[in-house]
Amino acid sequence: MIFKFFAYCLTALSTLFLLWCAGWLWFAASVASMKPYDTTVKTDAIIVLTGGDKRVNEGLDLIAQGTAQYLFISGVNPKVKPEELVALWGKDGTKIAGRITLGYFADNTAANARESQQWVEQNNIKSIRLVTANYHMMRSLLNFRKALPSVAIYQHPVVPDDFEPWKEQFWPLTFSEYNKVLATWLRFDLLHKNPSLENTHS
């Protein structure tokens, strides 16, 4: 009887491990193949989550191309001003300087979503293009869709430098991010089933 119990536990754990491994491979493949949503589709705003120059520059490129009317950059160092980011961009920012807002309070993905939610609601934004690194996009979408359920969100992943599947940093980073995505999904599922816990996570 005890042997059967341990055999059952081992089988269950092995199955869960195989499912977890398959999920990681699926996540890594999704990250590697992720593409921006059609840029001919315009949105009310672009939201950039800081974490690399390529993300901010991509947001500035998009607003300069007329993809959206407003640009909100979340998680910026309090010492940084919009004109400094435009100067680092290195292009003519005359027409876009007054359409850029910086958020200074977010220090993680969940806080990015809350900070952006306040700005979106204050400005009556109905659709956004979300710009962040490709490996960070799934977790960002989970947080933003929870914070902004009535807002249309279009993904715009940016590929970091040297972040191809054959490069050394790809697999450790996708491994870490995959587990963060699972943890975020499980937390939201728990809060959905137990709304009374919401205040303890706010």
Whether the CA torsion 139, 141, 37, 42 is positive or negative: it is negative
Q: Where are the domains of the chain?
A: 35-161
With bands split at pLDDT 50, 70 and 90, how would you rate the model's confidence at 17? confident
**Strand pairing report for 100-103 and 152-158:** unpaired
pLDDT digits (tens, 9 = 90+) for 69-119: 999 999 999 999 999 999 999 898 888 989 999 999 999 999 999 999 999
Instruction: Encode burial over 105-125: b for 16+ CB neighbours within 10 A, e otherwise.
Output: ebeebbebbbbbbebbeeeeb
Centre a 10 Å sphere on the Cβ of residue 179 and count the other Cβ atoms it contains: 14
If you write DSSP's letter for every residue of 90-135 in order, what string do you get?
TS--TTTGGGEEEE-S--SHHHHHHHHHHHHHHTT--EEEEEEEGG
Nearest residue to 59 (alpha-carbon basis) of 109, 132, 121: 132
Say whether pTM exceeds 0.75. yes
pLDDT digits (tens, 9 = 90+) for 18-73: 888 898 899 999 999 999 999 999 999 999 999 877 999 999 999 999 999 999 99
Superfamily classification of domain 35-161: HUPs (3.40.50.620)
Structural Rg of the chain based on CA atoms: 20
